[in-house]
Amino acid sequence: MSASPYPQALVDELAMGRFDQDYIDDALLDRLVEAVAAVRPEVARIADFGGGNGRFLDRLLSRMPRAHGTNYEISAHLRSLNAAPPRKELVATSFLSLDRHSQYDLVLMNWVLHHLVGKDLPATKQLIADAAAVAYDVLKPGGVLVVSENLLQSSFRAGISSAALFMVTRSRLLRPIVSRMRDGKAVAGVGIYYMSETELGSVLARFEPVTTFDRGAHDYGWKLRPIGITCVREKVLVFRKPGG
Ligand SMILES: C[S@@+](CC[C@H](N)C(=O)[O-])C[C@H]1O[C@@H](n2cnc3c(N)ncnc32)[C@H](O)[C@@H]1O
């Protein structure tokens, strides 16, 4: 492992219980497994970057009986919720510190990119770019990347809304207000960075898009309208590393 040069602002461990959820239901998981198999019929090694309670990886491994999986998870609380089925390893270090050699057939980044928050906006964008580079480098040529993200739509230029959301959620002053919003408690005072689908596409420009699943929209009502956000959609996107 090599140390990451970028310090990350972390969600408080006491708030991590909020992420003990199953975000992807069985029907969507079946479609996802089909989409992966169409691109990469043989999956031997899977890395789940920020795999949380590990249940997504466990469910995936039960559908891929020949695969081995590693959950790279920095939260002690979420690690403690992991079951220990055979063929699964739990690693307590940041995936940003991974040695970058091609070793995985499938990399998962489910609802993680928006938590890669640095001390300011440029540092945050750098962490996200770095995560994309790590995913690219650890995948074998022809390997598959699955990214699940909350993607914003905006009546302003989307970059302005992403930056404004980051500032508002990072602000210590606004913490009492943000913590009362949907999903706000864990990230108030820490920060969150939701991209537009266009920005995510440019972050992952080195990959080939395969398919996208839309899980529907979050309803924030009027609350995010002052910063131009009209809608936040939950999407699961599948990409392929060229080559192989
Ligand atoms: C919203 S949760 C999603 C958990 C899981 N991927 C899922 O879909 O259920 C985000 C997770 O990313 C983890 N995380 C954030 N940055 C990380 C990093 N640099 N290395 C490893 N895990 C990280 C957090 O601890 C948290 O468990």
pLDDT tens readout for residues 149-188 = 999 999 998 899 999 999 999 999 999 988 888 778 888 9
Distance CA 100, CA 1 (A): 9
Q: Per-residue pLDDT averaged across 12-16, rounded?
A: 87
Whether the per-residue pLDDT at 3 is higher than 50: the answer is: no
**Beta carbon of 50 within 6 Å of any ligand 1 atom:** yes
Q: Does domain 13-240 have CATH number 3.20.20.80?
A: no
Distance CA 127, CA 116 (A): 6
Q: Per-residue pLDDT averaged across 118-132, rounded?
A: 96
Whether the per-residue pLDDT at 4 is higher than 60: the answer is: no
Whether the per-residue pLDDT at 76 is higher than 90: the answer is: yes
**Beta carbon of 70 within 6 Å of any ligand 1 atom:** no
Q: Per-residue pLDDT averaged across 178-202, rounded?
A: 91
For a mutational test of ligand 1's pocket, the pick from 112, 127, 169, i.e. the residue with the most ligand atoms closer than 8 A to its C-beta, is: 112
Looking at residue 224, its pLDDT comes to: 87
| Number of other CB atoms surrounding residue 53 within 10 Å | 23
Helices (H), the chain: 26-39, 55-63, 76-80, 121-138, 158-170, 175-178, 184-187, 197-203
Whether the per-residue pLDDT at 222 is higher than 90: the answer is: no
Minimum-distance ligand 1 atom for the alpha carbon of 22: 9
Which helix H or strand E contains 214, and what residues bound it? strand 208-218
Mean pLDDT (the chain) is 93
Domain edges within the chain: 13-240
| CA of 52 relative to ligand 1 center, distance in Å | 5
Q: Per-residue confidence at 5, pLDDT binned at 50, 70, 90?
A: low
Distance CA 34, CA 118 (A): 35
Looking at residue 122, its pLDDT comes to: 96
Looking at residue 1, its pLDDT comes to: 47
**Beta carbon of 110 within 6 Å of any ligand 1 atom:** yes
**Beta carbon of 51 within 6 Å of any ligand 1 atom:** yes
Distance CA 208, CA 212 (A): 12
**Beta carbon of 95 within 6 Å of any ligand 1 atom:** yes
Whether the per-residue pLDDT at 57 is higher than 80: the answer is: yes
**Beta carbon of 136 within 6 Å of any ligand 1 atom:** no
